[in-house]
Amino acid sequence: MTRLFNEPSDFADEAVDGFVAANRRWVRKVHGGVVRTAASAPGSVALVVGGGSGHYPAFGGLVGPGLAAGAALGNLFASPSWQQVRSVSKSAHNGGGVLLSYGNYAGDVLNFDRAQARLREEGIRVETVTITDDVASASAAEKHRRRGIAGDFTVFKAAGAAAAAGYSLDEVVRVAQKANDRTRSIGVAFTGCSLPGADEPLFTVPEGRMAVGLGIHGEPGISEQDVPTAAGLAELLVSTLLAELPDGVERADGQRVAVILNGLGSVKYEELFVVYAKIDELLTAAGVEVVEPEVGELVTSFDMAGASLTLFWLDDELESLWAAPVDAPAYKKGSVDPSSAAAEIHDEEELAEPIPESSEESRQAAALVVTALDAIKVVIDENADELGRIDAVAGDGDHGIGMQRGVTAAVEAAHDALDRGAGAKTVLDRAGDAWSDRAGGTSGALWGSALGAVGGALTDSAAADADAVARGVAQATTEILEFGAVVGDKTMVDVLVPFSTALTERVQAGEHLTDAWKTSADIASDAAAATKDLLPKMGRARPHAEKSLGTPDAGAVSLGLIVQSVATVLATSTK
């Protein structure tokens, strides 16, 4: 249980502030995360890593010479927003291009990919390597769908050392991809983890039982079994990983392997050493040469009691990069030449942008938009705990907190824009950007796109009519579908598509927006409830599909709540 916090929704931001205050020799805070304090060699590649908070020392603790140049830090267990990734990347960029590397999770992919596109538009060369080391999360035939867990570290270490050695961006990418291809991990947990302010952990494990194949965001394991002895756990971990050798490694005998026995948060170092003694014995018996093993906490999951084993199958190049020196807040190896020069930091902290001119009619529509956003905030605040509970059934339980952060930022941005004379389009644009930036994660990216799409159908010079609103919702649906989900995947799409279809049909039939929206909202609520009978086919819930049967999708439920709250605002505004 997490005991020390102030406001739970501020926990991640306050943790970053404290981390930076304690480690100013290594890192400086910028919008969205941290970058190195010391200057890197001019023209060198900048490795930018990142993901949700709650995994320390990943990701901020790995920023320093020989490792990452910057880390984008999202909310607890939620990916950073694309704005955060872009900001950190621009601050870390040193003339040699940027490599983005992170665990293969849907929200991270959405936001890092969007940041990559924006950076490329700005003339910065950017490449990406996602990490897929967790053998429990997908079969060997679908390795590309696996998630990244403690194997993140081996890829970061190899890529960071290659960048420090002066490799070109193409060569750093090659090294990172090779490191990922030759890394395998498996984890177990004895208890779940608890987010700040939560009364219950994200999942529970019966006394005397152990979850096998868990994720690092509080996702429950793929299976359960009785807790073995330390030696029994070592045998399970080693045998699982030796059963799947990387391509090009035909047999374990005679191979060199870097080993990580990673604590997930609450298992003591002495316990890990007891397990590691048997791991070393088993690998030696299999003819494997262990090279510079690591036993400790490198990629954690808040206060989870558990551990994971990672095998990194080396060749000559990877071994030299694994052994290369590092000086980061949470990881040190060898001796790094100190740099007295401070890095020139380009901080992307947003300044107040000018407000475009607007008409009185559009400002009236903007005021209604702000009233609707205020109502959305109320309904999200009232249901945040329940949304988190639903999300935790087969996911990571962060949906409620993420939605709260997003809508709070959207409301603040919308009020600020309205107070400065903005029309409906600008209010929605600013609200969407703020939601995406503050919330991060998949929901942040989707809601940012949705608000921006509706804003794109309106103008700052004319009144907002029903046709424009329906077009905006239809465009939002199109953009969200481009993220990959389809009806039946157990996502918000299962609600958004029927809602948008019904709204368009009724508006085109001549219904008043208030009536058309209310009827469509009722359809959306029914669709949200019906997701309880679906199996998830995307996102973090996919490996735990059966666990979610009987429980609706959190994103679908939140969308249903939101459109109903807007229906109430519209009905009130026409009285």
Residue 340: CA count within 13 A, CB half-sphere? 0
Residue 431 burial class via C-beta count within 10 angstroms: exposed 0-12, middle 13-18, buried 19 and up: buried
Among 31, 55, 93, 217, the one annotated catalytic: 217
- What CATH number is given to the structural domain containing 50? 3.40.50.10440
Do 221 and 106 lie in one domain? The reply is yes
Do 51 and 198 lie in one domain? The reply is yes
Residue 112 token pair: 């890092």
Q: Is 217 a catalytic residue?
A: yes
Buried b (16+ CB within 10 A) or exposed e, 388-413: bbbbbbbbbbbbbbbbbbbbbbbbbb
Identify whether 286 is part of a domain: yes
Identify the H or E element spanning 188: strand 183-189
Do 240 and 91 lie in one domain? The reply is yes
Boundary (domain end) residue, out of 300, 325, 350: 325
Identify whether 347 is part of a domain: no
How far apart CA 539 and CA 98 sit, in angstroms, is 26
The number of domains in the chain is 2
DSSP-derived secondary structure letter, 79: P
How far apart CA 167 and CA 64 sit, in angstroms, is 17
Identify whether 351 is part of a domain: no
Identify whether 348 is part of a domain: no
Name residue 500's beta-bridge partners: none
Boundary (domain end) residue, out of 325, 351, 380: 325
How far apart CA 162 and CA 76 sit, in angstroms, is 30
Do 258 and 391 lie in one domain? The reply is no
Identify whether 1 is part of a domain: no
How far apart CA 360 and CA 553 sit, in angstroms, is 40
Do 277 and 373 lie in one domain? The reply is no
SS (H, E, C) 525-566: HHHHHHHHHCCCCCCCCHHHHHHHCCCCCHHHHHHHHHHHHH
- Tell me which residue range forms the domain holding 85: 8-325
Cβ(52)–Cβ(74) below 8 Å: yes
Do 252 and 385 lie in one domain? The reply is no
Do 271 and 419 lie in one domain? The reply is no
Identify whether 2 is part of a domain: no
pLDDT tens sequence for the chain (575 residues): 678 889 888 899 999 999 999 999 999 999 999 999 998 999 999 999 999 999 999 999 999 999 999 999 998 888 999 999 999 999 999 999 999 999 999 889 999 999 999 999 999 999 999 999 999 999 999 999 999 999 999 999 999 999 999 999 999 999 999 999 999 999 999 998 888 888 788 788 889 999 999 888 767 778 899 999 999 999 999 999 999 999 989 999 999 999 999 999 999 999 999 999 999 999 999 999 999 999 999 999 989 999 999 999 999 999 999 999 999 999 999 988 766 566 666 666 655 578 999 999 999 999 999 999 999 999 999 999 899 888 877 666 778 888 998 999 999 999 999 999 999 999 999 999 999 998 888 889 999 999 999 999 999 999 989 999 999 999 999 999 988 889 988 999 999 999 999 999 999 999 999 999 999 999 999 999 999 999 777 655 555 556 678 899 999 999 999 999 999 999 998 75
Do 228 and 281 lie in one domain? The reply is yes
- What CATH number is given to the structural domain containing 504? 1.25.40.340
How far apart CA 44 and CA 166 sit, in angstroms, is 6
Do 319 and 378 lie in one domain? The reply is no
Do 41 and 162 lie in one domain? The reply is yes
Identify whether 178 is part of a domain: yes
Do 237 and 283 lie in one domain? The reply is yes
Boundary (domain end) residue, out of 325, 345, 372: 325
Do 186 and 296 lie in one domain? The reply is yes
Identify whether 343 is part of a domain: no
Q: Write the single-letter amino acid at 71.
A: A
